[in-house]
C-alpha cells in the first residue's frame, strides 16, 4: 500500500504569527542553515538569488518574526548550565499571565509553553547541577498562582531542535 504524503502546513491566518515562508525563502534559510556565517554574496550564490534579494528577504523574515533570535543556537552547557529539565506546572487560571511574567524573571527558565489539558505550562529550565535544579524548581513552585509542579530531568537529547526537513519540504 503506498504511503500517504505528509500533510502540508496550512497558511497562517492574519494575526496568528509570522507570514508563511515561500519556497524561495526556504531555499535561502537552508543555505543559511548550512553556512550560518556566510556573507550575503555567498548566500545569494548558494540559493540562486541576487544579493539584493537575499538582503531584502532576510530583512523581511526578521521583521515579520519568521526568523527568531540567535539565542536558540547557544548551548546552555557552554554557559555553565549542563543540566536540562522540563517542569510541568499547574496554575490557578486567573493568574496565568502573572505566573508567565514571574517565570520570565527566572534566568534559568529558557522557554515556557502554555498547554491544553491537565497541565497548564511546560517550562524548560537549565541548571548548573542537581542542587541548582532543586533551587530553580523550588523558585518556580514559590511563584504565586503556581499550584503544583513536576520536574523531569533530560537524560539526553534524542532529536535535536531542527527545521531542515520542513524547510526542504517547503523549498521543493
Whether 69 shows a pLDDT value over 90: the answer reads: no
Average pLDDT over residues 116-123: 95
Residue spans in the chain of domains classed CATH 1.10.10.10: 23-71
Residue spans in the chain of domains classed CATH 3.30.70.920: 76-153
Computed over every residue of the chain, the mean pLDDT equals 88
Q: Which residue has the higher pLDDT, 146 or 67?
A: 146
**DSSP string of the chain?**
-PPPPPPPPPPPPTTSSSPPP-HHHHHHHHHHHH-TT--HHHHHHHHT--HHHHHHHHHHHHHHTSS--GGGGS-GGGGT--EEEEEEEEE-GGGHHHHHHHHHT-TTEEEEEE-SSS--EEEEEEESSHHHHHHHHHHHHTSTTEEEEEEEE----SS-S--HHHHHHHH-
* Domain 76-153 CATH class label: alpha beta
Q: What pLDDT band is residue 2 in, cutting at 50, 70 and 90?
A: very low
Q: For residue range 17-60, list pLDDT tens digits in order.
A: 567 889 999 989 988 888 888 999 999 998 888 999 999 999 99
Average pLDDT over residues 115-121: 95
> What pLDDT is attached to residue 160?
87
Average pLDDT over residues 87-105: 96
> What pLDDT is attached to residue 73?
78
23-71 is classed CATH 3.30.1490.20: no
Strand partners, 109: 125
Dihedral sign of CA atoms 125, 126, 129, 132 in order: negative
Amino acid at each position: 500500500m503506498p504511503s500517504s504524503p505528509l500533510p502540508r502546513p496550512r497558511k497562517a491566518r492574519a494575526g496568528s504569527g509570522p507570514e508563511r515562508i515561500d519556497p524561495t525563502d526556504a531555499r535561502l534559510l537552508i543555505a543559511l542553515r548550512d553556512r550560518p556565517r556566510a556573507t550575503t554574496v555567498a548566500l545569494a550564490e548558494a540559493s540562486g538569488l541576487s544579493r539584493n534579494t537575499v538582503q531584502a528577504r532576510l530583512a523581511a523574515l526578521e521583521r515579520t518574526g519568521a526568523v527568531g533570535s540567535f539565542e536558540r543556537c547557544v548551548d546552555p552547557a557552554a554557559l555553565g548550565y549542563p543540566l536540562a529539565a522540563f517542569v510541568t506546572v499547574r496554575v490557578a487560571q486567573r493568574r496565568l499571565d502573572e505566573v508567565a511574567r514571574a517565570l520570565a524573571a527566572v534566568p534559568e527558565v529558557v522557554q515556557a509553553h502554555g498547554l491544553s489539558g491537565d497541565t497548564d505550562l511546560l517550562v524548560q529550565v537549565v541548571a548548573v547541577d542537581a542542587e541548582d535544579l532543586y533551587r530553580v524548581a523550588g523558585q518556580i513552585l514559590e511563584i504565586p498562582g503556581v499550584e503544583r509542579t513536576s520536574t523531569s530531568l533530560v537524560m539526553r537529547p534524542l532529536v535535536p531542535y531542527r527545521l531542515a526537513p520542513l524547510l526542504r519540504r517547503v523549498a521543493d
